């Protein structure tokens, strides 16, 4: 199943008679109990980042994830403001995430569930304003390690890998490419002293290497 629709979610809730919500969760869906608007907003921000760094997903608030029985597990959400939630998630994520927050009516007396839909982000990696970076792995939100974080930055163009420092010596560089750089410089800036400089001074001069390498 891909990212579930509201109809999919309602069908899954029918399975709570013999299962707990945790067993119904998967890569694109998570159930969360409702505590209060302030505390659950922090949870929403964390999961918005988590899903945006993967392939998107849905969080349903108002369902206890470890209680069997539909009437016992579903307690609904209350005391929230949809606009405050949307703005709060937007303001608390970097880059900003514009997620969809909506109500889902249920037949139980609790009235509604709160559903947050997060699209896959186009500006990965996403983090909270506190600097927390997570990514959906299976049905868990896991911290992104340094390699994942950097790879995500490179793949989205946030970091230019070609500008990263490489610890190699002059004898490991291709003399043909050094000669090509010198010829380009000679063509466009024939008066430059670098045209007649040593290979090392040339590379330092054009910014390809740093002094003291």
In tens, the pLDDT along 85-95 reads 999 999 999 99
Collapsed DSSP state (helix, strand, coil) of residue 161: helix
Spatial contact of 27 and 71, defined as CB atoms under 8 Å apart: no
Q: Could you say which architecture CATH assigns to the domain 6-161?
A: 2-Layer Sandwich (3.30)
**For the residues 59-77, what does the mean pLDDT come to?**
94
pTM above 0.85, yes or no: no
Spatial contact of 123 and 156, defined as CB atoms under 8 Å apart: yes
Neighbours of 4 (CB within 10 A): 20
Does the pLDDT value for residue 64 go beyond 60? yes
Q: How far apart are CA 202 and CA 197, in angstroms?
A: 6
In tens, the pLDDT along 170-202 reads 676 778 778 887 888 787 677 777 778 888 777
Domain residue extents for the chain = 6-161, 170-205
Collapsed DSSP state (helix, strand, coil) of residue 185: helix
Kindly state the tokens that stand for 3.
């990212």
- At residue 173, the pLDDT reads 73
Extended beta strands in the chain, E state: 29-32, 57-61, 93-94, 100-105, 112-118, 127-128, 134-137, 140-143
Q: Most confidently modeled of 18-32, 103-117, 146-160, 197-211?
A: 18-32
- At residue 175, the pLDDT reads 82
| Neighbouring residues of 31: CB distance < 8 A, sequence distance ≥ 6 | 21, 22, 24, 25, 59, 60, 63, 64, 65
The number of residues in the chain equals 213
**For the residues 135-148, what does the mean pLDDT come to?**
82
∠ CA(1), CA(6), CA(24), 5° rounding?
A: 50
- At residue 46, the pLDDT reads 97
45-54, 87-96, 150-159, 165-174: range with lowest mean pLDDT: 150-159
- At residue 159, the pLDDT reads 45
Share of the chain above pLDDT 70, in %: 83
Q: How far apart are CA 10 and CA 80, in angstroms?
A: 21
Kindly state the tokens that stand for 84.
């405050």
């Amino acid at each position: 199943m891909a990212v579930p629709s509201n109809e999919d979610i309602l069908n899954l809730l029918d399975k709570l008679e013999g299962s707990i919500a945790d067993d119904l969760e998967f890569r694109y869906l998570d159930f969360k109990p409702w505590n209060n608007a302030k505390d659950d907003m922090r949870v929403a921000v964390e999961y918005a980042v988590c899903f945006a760094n993967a392939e998107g997903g849905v969080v349903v608030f108002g369902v206890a994830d470890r209680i069997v029985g539909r009437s016992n597990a579903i307690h609904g959400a209350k005391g929230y403001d949809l606009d405050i939630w949307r703005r709060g998630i937007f303001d608390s994520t970097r880059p900003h995430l514009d997620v969809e927050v909506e109500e889902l009516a249920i037949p139980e007396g609790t009235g509604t569930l709160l559903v947050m839909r997060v699209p896959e982000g186009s500006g990965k990696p996403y983090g909270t304003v506190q600097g927390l970076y997570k990514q959906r792995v299976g049905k868990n939100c896991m911290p992104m390690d340094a390699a994942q974080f950097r790879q995500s930055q490179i793949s989205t163009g946030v970091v230019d890998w070609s500008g990263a420092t490489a610890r190699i010596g002059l004898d490991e560089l291709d003399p043909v490419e050094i000669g090509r750089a010198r010829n380009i410089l000679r063509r466009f800036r024939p008066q430059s002293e670098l045209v007649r400089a040593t290979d090392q001074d040339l590379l330092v001069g054009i910014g390809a290497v740093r002094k003291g390498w």
